[in-house]
Amino acid sequence: AETWHNVPLAPPDSIFKLTAAFKADTYPQKVNLGVGAYRDDDNKPWVLPVVKKASQILLNDRSLDHEYLPITGLPEFVSSAARLILGENSPAIAENRVVSVQTISGTGANHLAALFLSRYYQFNGDKVVYLSDPTWEFSQGYWIPTLRPCSESLCHLQQCWHQPAFVPLLRPKTIGLDFAGFVAKLESAPERSVFLLHACAHNPTGVDPTKEQWETIADVILARKHYAFFDTAYQGFASGDLDRDAAAVRYFVSRGVPLLVCQSFAKNAGLYGERVGALHLVSPNKETADRVRSQLSVLQRSEISNPPSYGARVVALILNNPELFEEWKADIRTMAGRIIKMREELYRLLTEKLKTPGNWDHIINQIGMFRRVDRFDFGFKKTQSKVLTDDAHVYLTVNGRISMAGLNSKNIRYFAEALDRVVR
């Protein structure tokens, strides 16, 4: 038989398929609310002014070359990235018990962390990781059984066989957090289970636990000896404030919850394609950290060998230069602020202007949601989102998630009216 006759054709990636359909559409007022990338008020990708500045500095730096970075990444990048998420005065950093490895953006961090846990985490029975329901759809990809060569010897194939299990997250009626369901799952899961948590701006729901709820979650995780696997792809981008968006992670560290953090600079620095990210694992002491670092290096070596340098240099410059850091914060506020404005305007159009039937409070009513997220779930029926696409040329994923960044002062009225027609 032909060599690859056994390879089935995979379905196209849903988001990229949506983007392709949007591009092919010739309708002048078409709206793309599918892609999870920031757009300015002219619906254009936005290169952050501070990134332009940092790039210029790099361009003029004659001392730079194209040598390999160390396996764990650019030292000044990983150390400043750790301080950004864990806090300037983090005791864990001061005690040298944080292992930080530069990764291929957030996806790479998730993958490396999943691989490390599958090799070394002492599960209690089945190797299961608990994801939220719904979750960012790609999360599942990291946990799909994969065959990969052992780093020691290419002759041995070792399987990592995490399987996702699901934690209820949304209460459909209010589009709020199903906190009771979440806690019940934390309590009923076998001890030492792994829970994937989004540090802020949960994707795709935009629903985050409150401060008090995080405290309860930490209590139960500690009591049940679980492991917190944090994914943080929106620090600063969610509320406009880097520290506020890191609060849950820092609180968990202060409580001594065993955890790791997968960090991405795709959204908050607008460096999507440069693939800048890091994995930070907070361990109990320096001696453990040294052992963990050595094994993460072994895995990294067999996965990507060394991480890419350009984006890491840009971010390191910004994080380590007080002036650039302030400029970055202003750029982040520009992005978060525009999205918050779109939320307010959409809410006003639906409730005051069009008097659209239904309750739209979830767009703005929870302080956390309003300030912390870039997207929310309409609680749509699949057919409604399809009608929006087919009749109004508004492109969104079938679960009704829209990316607020796709709205701007020119298309928001059109979108609100289309939405109004669909739900009437």
Backbone dihedral angles phi then psi of residue 172, each to the nearest 5 degrees: -55, -35
Closer Cβ to ligand PLP, 143 or 272, answer by number: 272
**Residue 107 binds ligand PLP (CB under 6 A):** yes
Only segment of 60-68, 188-196, 208-216, 264-272 that touches ligand PLP (CB under 6 A)? 264-272
Question: Which ranges of 121-196 would DSSP assign to H, the alpha helix?
Answer: 139-143, 179-188
How far apart are alpha carbons 331 and 308 in whole angstroms? Answer: 24
- Give least dist CB 385 to ligand PLP, A: 19
Instruction: Find the part of the chain contacting ligand PLP (CB under 6 A) among 65-73, 105-113, 336-344, 386-394.
Output: 105-113
Site string for ligand PLP, 166-205 (x = CB under 6 A): --------------------------------x----x--
In terms of Cα–Cα distance, which of 90, 91, 134, 129 is closest to 113? 129
Q: Report the distance separating Cα 93 and Cα 114, nearest Å.
A: 23
Q: Does 264 bind ligand PLP (CB under 6 A)?
A: yes
Tokens found for residue 239: 């509320």
* Catalytic site includes residue 267: yes
The position carrying tokens 């038989």 is 1
Give the Å distances, CA to CA, from 57 to 43, 142, 314: 28, 36, 9
Residue 266 interacting with ligand PLP (CB under 6 A): yes
The correct pick among 208, 231, 274, 327 for binding ligand PLP (CB under 6 A) is 231
Q: Which of residues 270-329 bind ligand PLP (CB under 6 A)?
A: 272, 277
Distance between CA 403 and CA 359 in Å, rounded? 19
> At closest approach, how far in Å is the CB of 416 from ligand PLP?
25
Amino acid identity of residue 74, one-letter, is L
Region from 76-84, 103-111, 159-167, 278-286 binding ligand PLP, contact rule CB under 6 A: 103-111
Of positions 233, 253, 349, 402, contacts ligand PLP by CB under 6 A: 233
105 binds ligand PLP (CB under 6 A): yes
Rank residues 263 and 356 by Cβ distance to ligand PLP and give the closer one.
263
Peptide bond into 204 cis (omega under 30): yes
Rank residues 73 and 392 by Cβ distance to ligand PLP and give the closer one: 73
106 binds ligand PLP (CB under 6 A): yes
The amino acid occupying position 377 is D
Task: Note if 214 is an active site residue.
Answer: no
Gap between the Cα atoms of 245 and 153, Å rounded? 42
Nearest to 372 by CA among 224, 211, 264, 182: 211
Task: From 199, 208, 263, select the one nearest 228 (Cα to Cα).
Answer: 199
Cis-peptide into 134, omega within 30 deg: yes
> Has 136 been annotated as catalytic?
yes
Phi and psi at residue 393, in whole multiples of 5°?
A: 60, 30
Rounded least distance, CB 62 to ligand PLP, Å: 31
Cβ proximity to ligand PLP: between 196 and 349 the closer is 196
Q: Which residues contact 131 (CB under 8 A, 6 or more apart)?
A: 139, 140, 143, 164, 165, 166, 167, 196
Catalytic choice (185, 208, 214, 231)? 231
Q: Of residues 46, 136, 143, 328, which has the active-site annotation? A: 136
CA 415 to chain centre: 26
198 vs 280, beta carbon nearer ligand PLP? 198
Least distance (Å) between residue 240 CB and ligand PLP = 18
**Considering only residues 18, 30, 36, 48, which one is a binding residue for ligand PLP as defined by CB under 6 A?**
36
Cα–Cα distance for residue pair 317/19, rounded to 1 Å: 33
Q: Which of 303, 304, 307 is nearest to 274 (CA)?
A: 307
Asked if 385 touches ligand PLP (CB under 6 A), the answer is no
Provide, rounded to whole angstroms, the least separation between the CB of residue 131 and ligand PLP. Answer: 11
Using the contact rule CB under 6 A, the part of the chain among 102-110, 289-297, 332-340, 369-377 near ligand PLP is 102-110
Q: Site residues (CB under 6 A) for ligand PLP?
A: 36, 105-107, 136, 198, 203, 231, 233, 264, 266, 272, 277
Name the residues annotated as catalytic.
136, 231, 267
